[in-house]
Structure 1
């Protein structure tokens, strides 16, 4: 569950790995990693920031939330809800 360790193992030639583009891209551009199965994708996973509901959002927490939000908007694929079929919500 450690992306940096996973990346290091891949760079050391220890096998095939799946990484987000923002982690693999710079290494692929330098030829350190070779893209495989490029037309295969995984569904994006949601990310949540949690903090106690009984507290006001401090200036530090607001800056952190805004920073993470901006990073995800720039580097992570958007999660698009699946279209509902007939009879579904």
Structure 2
């Protein structure tokens, strides 16, 4: 379940790996990895940020959320917050 370990194993020629595209992007670009099954659907990854219910995110948390959206999903088909879902636990 550790994507960094999956990436390291794939780069080390230990087999095929299916991982979020943002994680493989640098290794694909510089030739350490090669896409071999292009017909498979891409895996953009999924992240969840949780904080206590009934609170608005603090300024620090808001900065982190904005950073994560801007940098973790570079290269995703839809940029920005269009794919972000928010709900409050009951």
| TM-score between the two structures when normalised by the length of structure 1 | 0.68
Query: What is the 5 A alignment of 1:1-89?
Result: 1-42=1-42, 46-78=46-78
Preserved CA contact (<8 Å) 1:10 1:17: yes
| Bigger Rg, structure 1 or 2 | 1
- Whole-Å separation in 1 of the counterparts to 2:34 and 2:73: 26
Over aligned residue pairs, what C-alpha RMSD do you find? 2.3
Segments of 5+ residues of structure 2 without an aligned counterpart are 84-90
> What's the offset of the Cα at 1:26?
1.7
Count of residues in correspondence between the two structures: 79
Q: C-alpha displacement at 1:52, in angstroms?
A: 0.7
Q: For structure 1, which runs of at least 5 residues remain unmatched after alignment?
A: 80-89
State whether residues 22 and 75 of structure 1, in contact with CA within 8 Å, keep that contact through their aligned partners in structure 2: yes
